Amino acid sequence: MAFNLNKIKDELRNIIFGIDSDSPRIAPINIDRFPSSSKDFRVKISDPSGRISNSAGALAPLQQTSGKVVFPYTPEISINHTANYTPLSPTHSNYEYLFYQSSAVSEINLVAQFSARSPEDADYVLAVQHFFRSATKMFYGQDQLAGIPPVVCRLEGHGALQLNSVPIVITSFSSSLPSDVDYISATDDRHGRVPTVQSFNITAKPLYSRDRLTNEFNLGDFASGSLLNQQQNSNNGGFI
C-alpha cells in the first residue's frame, strides 16, 4: 500500500495546530516574504541610526527584513490627537470661555500579533521582542555612546498620508507568554522558545526637534499633507 508522505505531514500539522481540514488555513510567517520596499504598505518599525538594528546575535534575524521589524499581521493602531484648552467660568454665565493652550499627539498604541510555525519563525519573533526591549533602554555603563538616550525609531505603514516614516520613541513595550497555546523552539534550542501565537503591546510618542518645529512646521503645509510625506526629501520623517 503506497503512502503519500506530504498528505500525512499535512494531517499531522492539522492535528497539532488544531486546524480543521475543511477550514481555511492560516498562512505561516515566512520572513523571506517581508522585504523593505517603498511600496510595501505593511506596518514597520525601524532604527534608522543602526545603533541597535545593525547588532548581530539576538537581533541578527532582523537583517532578513532590512533591519526593520515587519508586522506580519496588520496591527491595531490608535493615535490620540488632542487640543488643550483652559476653561474660565464667569459667575452667572451659561457658558464657559475656552482659552487655547496647546496641541499634542500624546500616544500611539499598537497591538500586534505574531505567530511561529517553524524554528526560523521563532528566531524572528525572539529578535522582534529583543528589539523593543533594547529600544526602551539608554546607552550606559561601558557603552562607547554612554549617556545617549534610547534610539529614535521610525514608524511607517499604510501609505504616505498615514504613517510615513514618523519619528517615534518607544515608551512602553509588553509581551505575554500565554499558557493555553503550544510553544516552538528556535533554531538553536539554547535561545529558547516562543508561543505559536502571541501579542505584543507597544506604546510610542512622536518626537520632533525644536529646530524642525520652529523652522519647518506650518499649519498650511500640514493641512495640505505635504508635511506628512517628508521621507522623499529628507531623513527626518513625516509629521503626524
Mean pLDDT in consecutive groups of 10 residues from the start of the chain, 240 residues: 54 50 43 52 92 87 91 94 94 92 93 94 95 92 84 91 92 93 93 94 94 91 83 67
Please state the length of the chain: 240
Q: What is the pLDDT of residue 29?
A: 44
153 contacts 47 by C-beta, under 8 angstroms:
yes
In whole angstroms, what is the distance from residue 52 CA to residue 136 CA?
11
Q: Tell me how far apart the terminal alpha carbons of the chain are, to the nearest angstrom.
A: 65
Triad 171, 177, 180: Cα angle to 5°: 145
pTM of the model: 0.78
